[in-house]
Amino acid sequence: MNIPGRRRILSKIVVGLCGLAVLIALVPLALVFFYVVKQGFASLNWAFFTRMPKPVGEAGGGMANAILGTFFLIVIASIVAIPVGVIAGVYLSEYGKARFATLVRFTADVLNGVPSIVIGIFAYGLAVLPVHRFSALAGGLALGFMMIPIITRTTEELLNLVPSTLREGALALGATRARAAFGVMVPAALPGILTGILLALARIAGETAPLLFTSFNNRYFSTRLDQPIASLTVQVFTYAISPYDDWHRQAWAGALVLVAFVFTFSVFARVVTRRLERMHRI
């Protein structure tokens, strides 16, 4: 059959343009990676990981306190978000057809789209305003709130992938629903759930906006819940908008550490995901 030339050419052009769109999107990706790696490697040294920030004007120093601070904030966020997220996810997968479950699912998706800065204001009102002090707790709460919807939805999806015959088997053997869910279903889905949690961690580790006025910043080592704490992202921001070359250098180093962290997690999660997919398809 003959398709008139004009239509065929138009089709070819559009197909070409779609391919071009992919290439165009890869340009900024490559550029960002190129600069972060180039500038970051030039500035990254051992002191960056082990030293404290130097006073303004003095060269050198590092972000040891900020790296520790980010780690500390992530731990607080996990303590807040993992139990809530996983159990809510169990509910959604066990009673997914209830109207309330649809509401929860919808709210979780909507919560996911709430700007992180707004979550920051919320945590500020909750944990900073009453005591008039910035604190690690407030920052951790803000990050935790952001993790909850992600963990809830991934847990639900992964539990839904476990064959329901497992649940039915457990119930037939006389297990309670709680036993069937937490003793059989959750362990079966555990690798995936953990990967989902890792992805959520990778995402919040790069957040800056919700920390600006919750955990604020701190020039010193701190592990106290009720004191301001430094974080890698806020430190990068502070240095990036400062007028000092040496601080810019350190900001790039910080960006490299962040990107390396996020990238590693994403690749790792991708590998685990593919393995799980293959496993479940059989």
Tokens of 191: 């690798």
Query: Amino acid identity, residue 246?
Result: D
Which residue from 110, 187, 190, 221 is in contact with another protein, where contact means CB under 8 A? 110
Tokens of 146: 């952001």
Stretch that binds another protein, among 41-49, 61-69, 71-79, 209-217 (CB under 8 A): 209-217
Spatial distance between the Cα atoms of 146 and 123, rounded to a whole number of angstroms: 11
Which residue from 184, 212, 229, 230 is in contact with another protein, where contact means CB under 8 A? 212
Which residue from 44, 48, 74, 91 is in contact with another protein, where contact means CB under 8 A? 91
Which residue from 49, 59, 60, 115 is in contact with another protein, where contact means CB under 8 A? 115
Per CB under 8 A, 50 contacts another protein: no
DSSP 38-103: HHHHHH--HHHHHPPBPPTT---B--HHHHHHHHHHHHHHHHHHHHHHHHHHHHHHHSTTSHHHHH
Residues in 136-195 at the binding interface with another protein, rule: CB under 8 A? 145, 148-150, 152-154, 157-158, 161, 172, 174, 176-178, 181, 192, 195
Nearer to another protein, 30 or 57 (CB): 30
Stretch that binds another protein, among 43-51, 52-60, 64-72, 248-256 (CB under 8 A): 248-256
Binding mask 54-73 for another protein (x = CB under 8 A): --------------------
Nearer to another protein, 227 or 273 (CB): 273
C-beta of residue 109 within 8 angstroms of C-beta of residue 156: no
Nearer to another protein, 15 or 75 (CB): 15
∠197-66-151 over CA atoms, to 5°? 10
Residue of 106, 103, 108 whose CA lies nearest to 86: 108
CB of 129 to another protein, least distance (A): 7
- Reduced to 3 states (helix: H, G, I; strand: E, B; else coil), residue 140 is helix
Per the DSSP assignment, residues forming a β-bridge with 53 are 61
